[in-house]
């Protein structure tokens, strides 16, 4: 069951790899302020059969390579070339930007790793920078009300709170979702339907907060069953936070009344959840000063 707290919140906002920090201690930041930028290793690797591209035996490809392992390449750049005795020329071009990861002489295979992925970390909550972490990020402090949920999907987002039901035991139905919910953190009651979730995504709602949801509806919406790993990176198009658990469950009155009291105010939400190992719960943070 979710719970409400009021406290000075400190959020550590860091990159997963060294980068450049853009804030300094004492700076006031908004939820969209960029704290740091960097690049991470691209997990995508493309395999190219050079022997087939050049029309030579697999073990004879080496002399025709124009690039070495570690060299950067650009899309459409020629990386290997073979001129035959009859004046014909065959070339192999890189189909992505990246770098040569490996060359396997025995198979005539070349591996290209995609270019590093640019990433940025935003403050997520409005507040003040109380500590700078060189090449990593910063710690942001804010006075806020917060709700710790039970389960969520979808990552960090923010928007103004907007109630779509009157009571904490009222289900959020499709008919209650309107165009005015675009960009909003929509608050329901006991549960919400698959149709309501789809419509909320369609109108551009940033997040849905409800007591519970049918697990089958969530599986249908995602297109796959959730495992026991960490959530938060789902391509859902919005964030969903459950304050009570799965199934129709009236939202705790304290949580509902608190969210209603902040209707029209900014809420910063994060659906990231991990039940096993290091415990992470979804949260709703509402800055109050």
Above 90 in pLDDT, residue 260? yes
Instruction: Report the share of the chain in percent with pLDDT over 70.
Output: 98
Q: How many domains does the chain have?
A: 2
Q: What one-character DSSP code corresponds to residue 203? A: H
Window from 152-161, 173-182, 210-219, 228-237 with minimum mean pLDDT: 228-237
Above 70 in pLDDT, residue 2? no
Above 90 in pLDDT, residue 212? yes
Q: For 139, how many CA atoms within 13 A lie in the half-sphere containing its CB?
A: 8
Domain match, 224 and 279 both:
yes
Where in the sequence is the domain holding 105, given as residue range(s)? 45-114
In this structure, the strands spanning 89-93 and 137-148 are unpaired
Could you tell me the sign of the dihedral formed by the alpha carbons of 143, 147, 150, 154, in that order? negative
On whether residue 72 sits in a domain, the answer given is: yes
In this structure, the strands spanning 34-40 and 19-21 are antiparallel
Above 90 in pLDDT, residue 6? no
pLDDT band at 101 (very low <50, low <70, confident <90, very high): very high
On whether residue 33 sits in a domain, the answer given is: no
On whether residue 67 sits in a domain, the answer given is: yes
Above 90 in pLDDT, residue 118? yes
- State residue 227's pLDDT score: 74
- The pTM of the full predicted model, rounded to 2 decimals, is 0.84
Above 90 in pLDDT, residue 277? no
Above 90 in pLDDT, residue 87? no
On whether residue 144 sits in a domain, the answer given is: no
CB 14 within 8 A of CB 21: no
Distance CA 179, CA 263 (A): 17
Sorted by sequence, the CB contacts under 8 Å of residue 207 that are 6+ apart come out as 154, 157, 159, 185, 186, 238, 239, 240, 241, 267, 269, 271
Q: What is the mean pLDDT of residues 261-273?
A: 97
CB 39 within 8 A of CB 116: yes
Domain match, 153 and 109 both:
no
Domain match, 177 and 251 both:
yes
- State residue 164's pLDDT score: 98
On whether residue 282 sits in a domain, the answer given is: yes
Above 80 in pLDDT, residue 239? yes
- State residue 225's pLDDT score: 85
Domain's final residue, options 114, 130, 163:
114
Domain match, 110 and 155 both:
no
């Amino acid at each position: 069951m979710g719970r409400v707290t009021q406290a000075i919140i400190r959020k550590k906002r860091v990159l997963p790899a060294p980068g450049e920090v853009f804030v300094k201690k004492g700076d006031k930041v908004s939820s969209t302020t960029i704290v740091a930028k960097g690049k991470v290793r691209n997990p995508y690797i493309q395999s190219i059969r050079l022997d087939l591209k050049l029309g030579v035996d697999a073990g004879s490809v080496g002399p025709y390579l124009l690039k070495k392992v570690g060299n950067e390449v650009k899309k459409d750049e020629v990386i290997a070339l073979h001129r035959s005795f009859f004046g014909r020329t065959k070339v192999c071009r890189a189909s992505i930007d990246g770098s040569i990861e490996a060359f396997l002489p025995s198979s005539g295979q070349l591996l290209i790793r995609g270019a590093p992925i640019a990433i940025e970390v935003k403050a997520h909550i409005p507040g003040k920078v109380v500590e700078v972490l060189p090449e990593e990020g910063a710690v942001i402090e804010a006075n806020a009300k917060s709700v710790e949920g039970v389960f969520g999907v979808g990552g960090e987002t923010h928007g103004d709170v907007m109630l779509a039901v009157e009571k904490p035991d009222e289900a959020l139905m499709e008919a209650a979702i309107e165009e005015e919910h675009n960009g909003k953190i929509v608050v329901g009651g006991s549960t919400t339907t698959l149709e309501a979730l789809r419509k909320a995504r369609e109108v551009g709602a940033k997040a849905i907060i409800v007591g519970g949801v049918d697990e089958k509806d969530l599986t249908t919406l995602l297109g796959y069953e959730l495992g026991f790993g960490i959530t938060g990176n789902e391509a859902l198009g919005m964030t969903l936070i459950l304050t009570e658990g799965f199934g129709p469950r009236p939202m705790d009155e304290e949580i509902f009344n608190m969210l209603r009291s902040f209707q029209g105010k900014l809420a910063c939400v994060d659906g990231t959840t991990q039940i096993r190992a290091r415990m992470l719960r979804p949260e709703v943070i509402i800055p109050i000063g």
